[in-house]
Structure 1
């Protein structure tokens, strides 16, 4: 019998996708609040640009991305963040996930360590393991508003540390790191010649605080990763982009070439229309996410829950009773008609939380909160839910 290589066998399955699969297969309708999938359609001018491009050409393009798109990204980042970038520093990837995976594989391998927040998007850990590296976790504690303690990050650094991942605004927490903390993390990394991978895919979904703009502090030790997915409701188009140190630009492009050859020319044309076209729908979506955040937070606080207000992204962490099993709770809630992601899917520091996505319609959020509150009252905050087989 064929067996996977040892490093591949260590990559865990996604706890988010477990709930996604159950919700999609449910015999009765389920309100989908478990995944970061904007409920808005991709703006029409972006779709039309893709149709126009497909009629002209569907050939291979540059592995690092079409220069016209990369130059438009340079202009956008210059206007928004004051970055003065050259073409080799900007690379287009298969979504942000492709960029993070490539970056980790370039700088880390067997025997190396990658520092990752906990809780966090689970793909960071999965990608580190796939590269043969060891993920080391720094805590984002609920009582600290899910913000990191930079001193704790520093204490975890070893001679084997090759990368530090930061994410602001954060998934799953919605927390926004103070710029002073971002600068301190970058300074720690630069002093030790470590790469900071700054996941900034929610940079346009910011309600309070400032964007991370980590590359603005040190262009030699920071890779800032962005995506069209959340900003423009383009999750299925699979286009991301990164600002990377020049020393990594050639190997980065080579890794992309070996894994995907190039990002689709058609979707890159759509991304070009997105970044150069009208931005009013970006603002409208951000306003809607803020409204939905306030709706969910208000309903939960009215019910007596101690809920923090996320400063960005479109997620909300909901506490269960101490000792409750978030996976068992999420499985059981699917049977009640609402899908939420278990905190355990994001690491060890939020085992008694559920993540609610605020990317769904207001009515679904309100109804989902009511279903959760009824379930919470019937189960003592989730304590009565069986620890296994809840969705069987």
Structure 2
């Protein structure tokens, strides 16, 4: 049998899926390793999808999506970012992951470099490698609150660097970029002739701090930096987390002017278009009652507070979560320098699945990501089984 290309064979295992699938196979496990919202989908969203099926609205749609859906995404983006984008620059995609693949497919060639946060979401690196690019991790470290530093980024730029990946609110960290840092990062990208792909999948969930979109500071934005002669920010949105529609696979890319034709062509060559049923359900989510979002936000905040109370009681260090629905906790006192193996052992012995920090890059060694989106009782019980540092035993 012919062998697969090296760029395919070298795509690493997603350690989040690895531990989660092991937990699903083990009866009565408490699964805190995956970001799956626990609430039922809002009824009006389900009914919109059902209505589309009832009227047999199951044909192809335009590559970029149904007009009203694109307009609804554009309206949401304008509300969140202050950037009034034309719906013609919104591309409806099969979830944020397909959107990431679509964006990178249009921006990089074999050997091109992409600056990736470390710790950062694993499919950033996986997708770059699958496309023949080179991931260059930029460090996010505890003593700087796991925030990017322009000095670190500048040292990594080479003539092959094409893209800067940003993610705020962060998965896995729960960190959020403030106004000044976001502006500084956009300015750095323009100074170095880089594209920005801004993953804003958790934009609806921040706690006592605002979400700031890099597009605010891009050309055409309300606070464009002086260096922004032409737009360079591509924004990734999704309905998976905001409305609990993880299985419907629907999101959007908000793109700069001039990319419409090439993105249409690449979309045709990958998935052609997103399911019409998912698009009509997504339209209902975007334009209908927003109770789901406010209820989810309150639940995630409450779970964050419950989880940190347990960790405080055990004396376990963690990063204060300001967004998304994850808590980043330091278990280096227990992991022996191999957190991936430790999470498997902890699952086998204590029945709790946590995502190992190395799923998100080498800087995650000794740390774990805790999902805050499930039932409070399971979250508290699972975390109560964690080993305390020696001084707190």
Q: Same fold (TM over 0.5)?
A: yes
Using the alignment, how far apart are the partners of 1:133 and 1:233 within structure 2?
Answer: 32
Match of 2:292 in 1: 281
Using the alignment, how far apart are the partners of 2:332 and 2:129 within structure 1?
Answer: 32
Deviation, structure 1 residue 146: 1.3
1:122-167 alpha-carbon deviations (Å, 9 max, x no partner): 0000000011011000011122221111221122111111100000
Using the alignment, how far apart are the partners of 2:73 and 2:147 within structure 1?
Answer: 29
Give me the TM-score of the superposition, normalised by structure 1: 0.93
Tell me whether 335-344 or 72-81 shows the greater mean CA deviation: 72-81
Q: Does the Cα contact within 8 Å between 2:316 and 2:331 map onto a contact in 1?
A: no
Using the alignment, how far apart are the partners of 1:127 and 1:168 within structure 2?
Answer: 19
Using the alignment, how far apart are the partners of 2:184 and 2:346 within structure 1?
Answer: 41
Deviation, structure 1 residue 180: 1.3
Please list every run of 5 or more consecutive structure 2 residues that lacks an aligned counterpart in the other structure: 220-230
**Aligned partner (choices 296, 314, 326) of residue 339 of structure 2:** 326
Q: Does the Cα contact within 8 Å between 1:337 and 1:371 map onto a contact in 2?
A: no
Using the alignment, how far apart are the partners of 2:192 and 2:142 within structure 1?
Answer: 29
Using the alignment, how far apart are the partners of 2:317 and 2:343 within structure 1?
Answer: 19
Q: Does the Cα contact within 8 Å between 2:250 and 2:274 map onto a contact in 1?
A: yes
Using the alignment, how far apart are the partners of 1:293 and 1:144 within structure 2?
Answer: 21
> For the aligned residues, what is the CA RMSD?
1.4
Please list every run of 5 or more consecutive structure 1 residues that lacks an aligned counterpart in the other structure: 382-392
Helix, strand or coil at the partner of 1:117: strand
Using the alignment, how far apart are the partners of 1:180 and 1:342 within structure 2?
Answer: 31
Task: Kindly tell me the number of residue pairs found equivalent between the two proteins.
Answer: 376
Helix, strand or coil at the partner of 1:237: coil
Is the aligned partner of 1:372 residue 2:371?
no
Helix, strand or coil at the partner of 2:247: helix
Deviation, structure 1 residue 191: 2.4
Trace 1:1-392 onto structure 2 (pairs within 5 A): 1-26=1-26, 28-56=27-55, 57-219=57-219, 220-322=231-333, 323-335=336-348, 336-373=350-387, 376=388
Q: Does the Cα contact within 8 Å between 1:104 and 1:128 map onto a contact in 2?
A: yes
Using the alignment, how far apart are the partners of 1:136 and 1:293 within structure 2?
Answer: 31
1:155-182 alpha-carbon deviations (Å, 9 max, x no partner): 2111111100000000000000122111
Helix, strand or coil at the partner of 1:236: coil
Helix, strand or coil at the partner of 1:42: coil
Q: Does the Cα contact within 8 Å between 1:142 and 1:350 map onto a contact in 2?
A: no
Using the alignment, how far apart are the partners of 2:358 and 2:115 within structure 1?
Answer: 18
